[in-house]
Amino acid sequence: MARSIRQLLDTTALLNERAVESHSLTENINTTTPIGKLTFHIFVALGEFEPDIFRQRVNAGLKAARRRTYCQQAEIPHENST
């Protein structure tokens, strides 16, 4: 439906203005009820949170790998150092 929270909420608002109701058959979410709207917004927020936290963890892993590589290279003795 959308690529960002803002786009999804704008699309949902547009659909609501046109009296289009959203129902999820697998999660039993009905956005015409207050609890359905709350559940929808929670899922949208989690959907945006997941790739952000994944990106953060990947970047932290890459940074740690770079540090390990740098430390390992610093510990390698030179052949001419006797």
What average pLDDT does range 4-19 have in this prediction? 84
What would the pLDDT profile of 23-69 be if each residue is shown by its tens digit?
A: 777 877 888 888 888 988 888 888 888 888 999 999 999 998 888 88
Residue 60: predicted pLDDT? 92
User: What pTM did the predictor assign?
Assistant: 0.56
Pinpoint the alpha helices (H) of the chain: 5-17, 34-75
pLDDT of residue 82 exceeding 60, the answer is no
- Please list, in sequence order, all residues whose beta carbon lies within 8 angstroms of the beta carbon of residue 47, skipping any fewer than 6 positions away: 5
Q: Which two tokens stand for residue 12?
A: 């949902």
pLDDT band at 81 (very low <50, low <70, confident <90, very high): low
Q: Which two tokens stand for residue 19?
A: 């009296």
Domain segments of the chain as ranges? 5-75
Provide the angle, in degrees to the nearest 10, between the axes of the packed helices 5-17 and 34-75: 170
Which of residues 47 and 77 earns the better pLDDT score? 47
